[in-house]
């Protein structure tokens, strides 16, 4: 990795972290849901700042070329993030369904009460 | 004993009144509740102008969510028995009494009774392809639970309070019938069938109308049945 590339990668990753923190502060993103991304950005900075770390780690998990390890890790992280998003989507779907069902029931109840009130008069 | 008919309705403005008239004539002693699943036609207006009893879903939930809303209504309002019928007029109200008798009588009362087209083989029998699909589902349920259900996709089902409580809590989103029936069997509940006649749908379209959705349907239902048997039904 050339020094120039190292600097570019680090600057972009730091900007990404700052952007994420800004969004969290503005309440447009939750810390919990953004956490995996922050971990990814920090890892990118670490690997770019200390290239020998990349060689050591790829040796550790048995991958010849460090670049392959980067792609491999990127794939794994994206899968984890997308999988957790799938769970979140379903949870939200369920919550929306529960709300729609509750509202329908309450609406009918209100209507029934109103009509029985007018009947009393 | 409080008895409720659950009628899920998505774009059924043309059929709904016939269904209700049929109920008023042939199902004395039953209350009914229509679930308008955010229809885009005049279903809601039909309910409003005829002062029908209905719940209005704010957004479309699909058949599973709509029927479940009916079961929740049955739960909240203290019904002892609930029966679901289709809003398109396929099911005849005159069969309700037979379903009720089958549910309540017998040495061990059943938890659910399904109205089956395929016992007496009378009335509308569906297309060859659909029948083949139904036979496969039936085979799968028999293989995994040991119980023979000839018409697992029938939307004409009556159940007791115990099942109402279960369905109000957990009910499949789409193509719910085979899965939810298997769920009951997996929990050791008693599900029986009696012969009924069904009519061809009077209007509207089936939700499974092209090869892709048919393929998706088969995979989804087969997997769903399998997962239910694996103990996926949360207690």
- DSSP for B72-131, please give it: HHHHHTT-SEEEE--TTS-B-GGGHHHHHHHHH-SSS--SEEEEESTTTT-S----HHHH
Which pTM value belongs to this model?
A: 0.85
Q: What pLDDT is stored for residue B233 in this prediction? A: 46
Q: What pLDDT is stored for residue B231 in this prediction? A: 63
Cβ of A101 within 8 Å of Cβ of B72? The answer is yes
Rounded to the nearest 5 degrees, what angle is found at the Cα of A67, between the Cα atoms of A53 and A7?
Answer: 65
Say if residue A38's pLDDT is above 80: yes
CA distance A51 to A39: 18
Residues from chain A contacting residue B72 (CB–CB below 8 Å): 101, 105
Cβ of A100 within 8 Å of Cβ of B35? The answer is no
CA distance B114 to B103: 9
Question: Which among B54, B59, B73 has the least Cβ separation from residue A100?
Answer: B59
Instruction: Please provide the CATH number assigned to the domain covering B3-232.
Output: 3.90.550.10
Cβ of B54 within 8 Å of Cβ of A108? The answer is yes
- Stretches where chain B sits below pLDDT 50 are 232-235
Q: What pLDDT is stored for residue A82 in this prediction? A: 93
Measure B152 CA to nearest chain A CA, in Å.
Answer: 25
Q: Is B53 exposed, middle or buried (0-12, 13-18, 19+ CB in 10 A)?
A: middle
The full length of chain A comes to: 121
Contacts of A107 (CB under 8 A, 6+ apart): B55, B56
The 8-class DSSP code of residue B191 comes to: E
Q: What pLDDT is stored for residue B130 in this prediction? A: 85
pLDDT band per the 50, 70, 90 thresholds, residue A114: confident
B3-9 sheet: strands from edge to edge = B54-56, B30-36, B3-9, B81-84, B157-160, B112-116, B191-195
- Interface predicted TM-score of the whole assembly (ipTM), two decimals: 0.84
Q: What pLDDT is stored for residue B234 in this prediction? A: 45
SS3 content of chain B, % helix, strand, coil (to 5): 45, 15, 40
Dihedral of the alpha carbons of A108, A109, A115, A119, in degrees to the nearest 10: 150
At A44-91, the pLDDT tens digits run: 999 999 988 888 888 888 888 888 888 998 999 999 999 999 999 999
Average pLDDT, chain A: 90
């Amino acid at each position: 990795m050339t020094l120039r590339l190292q600097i570019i990668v680090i600057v972009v990753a730091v900007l990404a972290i700052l952007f994420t923190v800004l969004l969290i502060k503005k309440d447009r993103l939750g810390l919990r849901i953004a956490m995996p991304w922050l971990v990814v950005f920090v890892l990118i900075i670490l690997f770019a700042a200390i290239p020998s770390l990349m060689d050591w780690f790829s040796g550790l998990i048995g991958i010849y070329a460090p670049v392959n390890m980067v792609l491999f890790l990127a794939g794994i992280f994206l899968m984890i993030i997308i999988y957790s998003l799938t769970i979140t989507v379903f949870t939200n779907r369920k919550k929306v369904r529960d709300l729609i069902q509750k509202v329908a029931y309450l609406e009918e109840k209100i209507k029934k009460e109103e009509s029985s009130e007018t009947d009393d008069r | 004993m409080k008895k409720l008919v659950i009628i899920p309705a998505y774009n059924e403005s043309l059929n709904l009144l016939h269904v209700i008239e049929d109920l008023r004539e042939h199902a004395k002693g039953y209350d009914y509740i229509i679930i308008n699943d955010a229809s885009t036609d005049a279903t809601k207006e039909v309910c409003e102008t005829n002062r029908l009893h209905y719940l209005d879903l704010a957004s479309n939930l699909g058949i599973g969510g709509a029927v479940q809303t009916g079961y929740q209504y049955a739960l909240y309002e203290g019904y002892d028995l609930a029966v679901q019928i289709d809003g398109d007029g396929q099911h005849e109200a005159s069969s309700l009494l037979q379903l009720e008798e089958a549910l309540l009588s017998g040495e061990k009362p059943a938890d659910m009774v399904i109205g089956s087209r395929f016992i007496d083989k009378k009335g509308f029998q569906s297309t060859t392809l659909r029948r083949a699909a139904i036979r496969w589902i039936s085979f799968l349920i028999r293989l995994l639970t040991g119980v023979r259900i000839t018409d697992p996709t029938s939307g004409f089902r009556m159940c007791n309070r115990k099942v109402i409580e279960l369905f109000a809590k957990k009910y499949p989103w789409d193509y719910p019938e085979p899965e939810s029936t298997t769920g009951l069997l997996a929990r050791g509940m008693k599900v029986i069938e009696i012969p009924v006649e069904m009519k061809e749908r009077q209007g509207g379209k089936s939700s499974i109308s092209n090869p892709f959705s048919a393929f998706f349907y088969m995979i989804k239902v087969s997997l769903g049945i399998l997962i239910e048997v694996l103990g996926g039904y949360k207690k």
